[in-house]
Structure 1
Amino acid sequence: MASTTAIAALTLHCFSKSNTLSPFRTLPRLTCSFSSSIKFNISFAPPNPKPKPNPKPTPEPQTDAPNEPDGPLLIPWIVRGEDGNLRLQSEPPPSFLKAMATAQTGTKKDKNQTKTTATSKAQKPRATAPPQHSKAARRFYNENIRSSSAARLSKVLAASGVASRRSCEELIFEGKVTVNGSVCNTPQTRVDPAKDVIYVNGNRLPKRQPKKVYLALNKPKGYICSSGENESKSVISLFDDYLKNWSKKHAGVPLPRLFTVGRLDVATTGLIIVTNDGDFAQKLSHPSSNLAKEYIATVDGLVHKRHLIAISEGTTIDGVHCVPDVVELLPRQPDMQRARLRIVVHEGRKHEVRELVKNAGLEIHSLKRVRIGGFRLPPDLG
């Protein structure tokens, strides 16, 4: 039989400076059991539960976990005071409480707001007053930078009326052009007639360039589109009276060198543009512009449906199959006995309209061009 011995609970006391006894801690009851195998089973008795209004079954106490002491657990805080000395206190410092409150109320939101504010301030344009320049600085800019008209030498010579651009290049290659006292053999040399001294065959080129001129001409029959001086029936010869009165209207400005934009054959009449602007002529006549050209063809004989179909199917010119954009039979006018066809093309090849009509089995009596792109021949132009 195993014998059991109960050991009474002990109370430990400590003496204070005033020689008074004060309880420090109470140990729970210890129970020891002895058996024949000499094993000890030590357990701590739980404290007496306090009475509750609605008692609930309490779980069995755990033998491994010690009981907590009575009363709240106080954590001392070591804080440095205003005098610089460390001291103990039972409450956390205000700085710690403030930091905890800030962390709980959303520190991330404040950071985002700070970033947003910083970004908005960075993106906000800074208001600056417009720069103020002196009158002399503006004059220097306008005379030396803004109004600079430097261009290729061959282009400047052609625009000044010396000759065509190809003829001007030949003059440059032959050494008949000098720039600032030196012979220039390169047509691509950039010059400014207002600043550079240019001589051609011993004659100085005027400083001022002629104004840009754009003229619409109703070309009569029998004139050729050539700018040769020996051609008496040239289209340019029709502007002799206009050029004679040039000096009266434009004093001190050299005569413009006029040329035609594209060509019309001798027998064709109608709209042709005359100018001295090479860039404008290049844009207007280049195939990449794809400008439509409208013609009125007066034909001999009767026009049937098969003729219109044959013209609309196109024909081959210089190895290229050309098809018109529009083919239309115009209503017959009472004062005209011949039929009229309205033909619109965009290729602009040589004798294209005449070849289209001829391929259809018709013969052209007269041909007149009335439109080039957005430029139309005025009906009242003689």
Structure 2
Amino acid sequence: MNKMRLNKFISNSGYTSRRKADELIFEGKVKINGETVKEPGTQVQVSVDIVEVEGKNISLEEEMKYIILNKPIKYITSVKDQFDRPSVLDLVDIKERIYPVGRLDYDSSGLIILTNDGDLTYKLTHPKHNIYKTYIVKINGLIDDETIEKLKKGVYIDNYRTRPCKVSLVSDDDRKSVLKVSILEGRNRQIRKMFEKFNFRVVYLRRISIGEISLGELPSGQWRHLRDDEVKYLKEME
């Protein structure tokens, strides 16, 4: 009989990510055959057990979906929020339930991956995997080489030190600097806070790639299915 860990079953159903599934389980919001379960590693008998999350019966998705979207600004990267702001999911017209991988803040734009593959989501968001996320960043004012070197080495923000990253100057004029920044983390508003540390305000932030998956010429607000070779790359990357 086919069995699967409960948190993996929930994430593979397309309901949410594995990390969020763990939280729901610990909060007592998951039942198997009517009984509340609080251990993520509990084994589910696939196609036999009835799994209920937050009062809804869930089942495994029949087909995995992998989508790349060019997120416009003023969209959230979650299903919904308390302010009823539009979500990136509103831009994608498919019948399967999918969810965003990681975050891209409300005032930022660019590449976001959406999928119902819980294993891939876990891999791309877990800090143990060294996956660079690359951004084009415009700041107010001119930045010098010394500050760029400090950013590369890591800075203290929100009581933690950012990991070493890649920073290079693309262009500047008398009032603005444009940089290319690649980070291994994805903490809340991390890049904005990194530059704020040196009294620079980010006026434009666009993610252009995750690993070797590039946004390319995909127009703002548009999406496409990832190619088979792109999906294979994401699954096999370390």
Match of 1:341 among 179, 183, 203: 179
CA distance in 1, matches of 2:192, 2:98: 28
Q: What is the 5 A alignment of 1:343-382?
A: 343-382=181-220
Shift in Å, 1:285: 0.9
Cα deviation digits, residues 196-218 of structure 1 (max 9, x gap): 26375998766x73311111111
TM-score norm. by structure 1 comes to 0.47
Q: Structure 2: how far apart are the matches of 1:329 and 1:215?
A: 30
C-alpha distance 321-151 of structure 1, shift in aligned 2 (>3 A):
same
SS of the aligned residue for 1:331 comes to strand
Stretches of structure 1 lacking an aligned partner (at least 5 in a row): 1-147, 247-255
Instruction: Return the structure number with greater strand share.
Output: 2
Cα drift, residue 162 of structure 1: 5.5
Distance 1:286 1:205, change over 3 A: closer
Counterpart CA distance in 1 for 2:97 and 2:162 is: 34
Alignment match, 1:218? 70
AA of the residue aligned to 2:69: L
* Partner Cα separation in structure 2 for residue 157 and residue 359 of structure 1: 39
Contact 2:102 2:186 in 1 (8 A): no
Aligned residue number for residue 67 of structure 1: none
Does 1:237 find its partner at 2:90? Answer: yes
Q: Percent of counterpart pairs with the same letter?
A: 28
Q: Is the 8 A contact 2:8 2:119 kept in 1?
A: no
Q: Distance in 1 between matches of 2:169 and 2:58?
A: 54
- Structure 2: 5+ residue runs without aligned partners? 221-238
Partner residue of 1:268 out of 108, 131, 146 = 108
The equivalent residue for 1:227 is 79
Which amino acid in the other structure matches residue 190 of structure 1?
V
Of the two structures, which has the highest relative contact order with CA contacts closer than 8 Å and spacing of 6 or more? 2
Equivalent AA in structure 2 for residue 341 of structure 1: L
Matched AA of 2:67: L
Which residue, out of 3, 9, 13, partners 1:160?
A: 13
Any idea what the Cα deviations from partners look like across 1:146-204, whole Å, max 9, x if unmatched?
Answer: xx64323454355435566354774434xxx52xxxx34336132112xx263759987
Please tell me the residue identity of whatever aligns with 2:44.
R
Deviation at residue 320 of structure 1 after TM alignment: 2.6
Cα distance change on mapping 1:229 and 1:158 into 2, 3 Å: farther
Residues 282-308 of structure 1, C-alpha deviations (whole Å, 9 max, x = no match): 111111101111111111223333443
Name the CA distance, whole Å, in 1 between partners of 2:197 and 2:57: 54
Aligned length: 209
